[in-house]
Amino acid sequence: MEPMLVEESELALEDIAATLLAESNGLAKRMHPILRESVGTLVRSMNCYYSNLIEGHDTHPRDIDRALANDFSNEPRKRNLQHEALAHIHVQRLIDEGRDPPVWPATSAYACWLHEEFCSRLPDELLWVESPATGERLPVIPGRLRERDVQVGRHIPPPHGDLPRFLARFDQAYGARSSRIRKIQAVGAVHHRFLWIHPFLDGNGRVARLMSHALLKRLEVGTSLWSVARGLAREDVRYKQLLMGADNPREGDRDGRGNLTQRGLIAFARFFLERAVDQVGFMGGLMEPEALDRRIEVHIEEEVRAKRLPRGSFTVLREAVLAGEVERSRVPLLTDYEERAARKITSALVQRGMLVGESSRAPLRLGLPVDAVERWFPRLYPVDAGGRP
């Protein structure tokens, strides 16, 4: 599977990596730390939606939202996909909160942890795959390397007996000491070569994207505020074409010195970093203070006119955006209402999920229910014919 890394002379990748580093750092500085936690919760749901969508599992954002509230569908397939979404969100939360293993993310040990943590939370119905050759149903065991040879489309991954050697080389290549910029450049290569090895019977795609998220975070580029999975899913056909292109054998003396194409690996690594830069820019645009403030104001004014929210609601929400949280005792002062009327505003916003708190007396921070997300963060999810995400 050589080459494992892109050539050091590939200056275009270095420029993109430097851009990603600068813009990601700028995004994190735009908002209050408490608001970042709320947005991070939203982005975890979005990331799981897009990562699962790449696998052909279309779990509606509203169904994910209901699952987070422990409200599951009576329809078995939809319920299973809700549990799958929760498993993905759980693992990413561990990564975002620094509760993942201390080992370097681009290693087989970390991959096994991701696979076990994710798959152990799946319903039994999702822990089986069918052999295309024999029709036999094979169990997927969380955290265990495959014990069968497989074929993925046209690609034939290494035989199961050779997995330890290939994974040892993977660990050696991507655990090597190098500059931060060089490691950022290599994230796409890590992503591809892991999928090329295909170490698990199933779940490799989700593990690869979670590994990429964890790797970017350890490199202090990735945060809980943006998701490369959205960029990959929006160009799903190209994503898969470039993955397959990097599977190809070397094309002559000018295509690197390994068995596989250097040109194909560079093309995928570049695509991966460009999608990351694009998603940082997308979230940065959504979080631009004046535009966000205006979108919230327009939406809340409509809700007030429709008598679904009391007057004064926007003032309280605006405080949550700017200050990160709102003390309940400050609502009368913010709205210039008597305490009883102010409590009605607080109660209405909590009931709608637009404000959330740890307890009935705790400060309130911005909540992001799906209905509000549609208006406050447009284009976060794809829009169907009904105008809903």
Mean pLDDT of the chain: 92
Question: 168 with 34, same domain?
Answer: yes
Tell me the per-residue pLDDT of 222-259, one tens digit each, with 9 for 90 and over.
888 999 999 999 999 999 999 999 999 999 888 888 89
Alpha helix segments (H runs only) across the chain: 11-28, 33-54, 61-68, 76-96, 108-119, 163-174, 180-185, 187-197, 204-218, 228-234, 236-245, 262-286, 289-305, 313-323, 331-335, 339-351, 370-376
* Interval 156-167 mean pLDDT: 97
Residue 386 pLDDT > 50: no
Number of domains in the chain: 2
On whether the CB atoms of residues 253 and 344 are closer than 8 A, the answer is: no
- Give binding residues for ATP as ranges: 152-155, 202-209
Question: 349 with 271, same domain?
Answer: no
Residue 361, pLDDT score? 86
Question: 56 with 160, same domain?
Answer: yes
Residue 319, pLDDT score? 94
CATH, residue 278: 1.10.3290.10
CATH, residue 372: 1.10.10.10
pLDDT class of 9 with cuts at 50, 70, 90 = low
Query: Lowest mean pLDDT: which of 47-61, 90-104, 268-282?
Result: 47-61
Question: 272 with 301, same domain?
Answer: no
Residue 383, pLDDT score? 60
Domain that holds residue 359: 289-376
For this structure, is 198 an active site residue?
Answer: yes
Question: 190 with 254, same domain?
Answer: yes
Question: 122 with 259, same domain?
Answer: yes
Question: 277 with 295, same domain?
Answer: no
Highest mean pLDDT among 221-225, 276-280, 369-373, 383-387: 276-280
Q: Is residue 56 part of a domain?
A: yes
Question: 271 with 368, same domain?
Answer: no
Tell me the per-residue pLDDT of 175-230, one tens digit each, with 9 for 90 and over.
877 888 889 999 999 999 999 999 999 999 999 999 999 999 999 998 889 999 99
Listed residues 287, 312, 327: the one ending a domain: 287
Q: Is residue 51 part of a domain?
A: yes
Listed residues 243, 268, 287: the one ending a domain: 287
Distance of alpha carbon 149 from alpha carbon 8, whole angstroms: 34
Selected residue with higher pLDDT from 223 and 112: 112
Tell me the per-residue pLDDT of 305-330, one tens digit each, with 9 for 90 and over.
999 999 999 999 999 999 999 999 99
Residue 5, pLDDT score? 85
Q: Is residue 386 part of a domain?
A: no
Cα-Cα-Cα-Cα dihedral sign, residues 229, 232, 235, 236: negative
Question: 142 with 248, same domain?
Answer: yes
pLDDT class of 132 with cuts at 50, 70, 90 = confident
Q: Is residue 193 part of a domain?
A: yes
Highest mean pLDDT among 5-14, 279-288, 294-303: 294-303
pLDDT class of 384 with cuts at 50, 70, 90 = low
Q: Is residue 387 part of a domain?
A: no
Residue 293, pLDDT score? 93
Tell me the per-residue pLDDT of 13-49, one tens digit each, with 9 for 90 and over.
889 999 999 998 888 777 788 888 889 999 999 999 9
| pTM of the predicted protein model | 0.91
Distance of alpha carbon 328 from alpha carbon 355, whole angstroms: 11
Question: 309 with 275, same domain?
Answer: no
- Give binding residues as ranges: 152-155, 202-209
Q: Is residue 6 part of a domain?
A: no
- Compute the chain's Rg from CA coordinates: 23
Q: Is residue 137 part of a domain?
A: yes
User: Among 192, 198, 213, 299, which one carries the catalytic annotation?
Assistant: 198
Tell me the per-residue pLDDT of 341-353, one tens digit each, with 9 for 90 and over.
999 999 999 999 9
Q: Classify burial at 46, counting beta carbons within 10 Å of its beta carbon; exposed 0-12, middle 13-18, buried 19 or more.
A: buried
Residue 118 pLDDT > 80: yes
Q: What percent of the chain has pLDDT over 70?
A: 97
pLDDT class of 389 with cuts at 50, 70, 90 = very low
CA 221 to each of CA 24, 62, 116, 185, 230: distance values in angstroms, whole numbers, following the listed order: 6, 29, 26, 12, 16
Distance of alpha carbon 2 from alpha carbon 173, whole angstroms: 10
Question: 279 with 298, same domain?
Answer: no
Q: Is residue 4 part of a domain?
A: no
DSSP 337-348: --HHHHHHHHHH
Question: 165 with 93, same domain?
Answer: yes
Side-chain half-sphere CA neighbours of 194 within 13 A: 31
* Interval 72-77 mean pLDDT: 95
On whether the CB atoms of residues 190 and 211 are closer than 8 A, the answer is: yes
Listed residues 272, 287, 302: the one ending a domain: 287
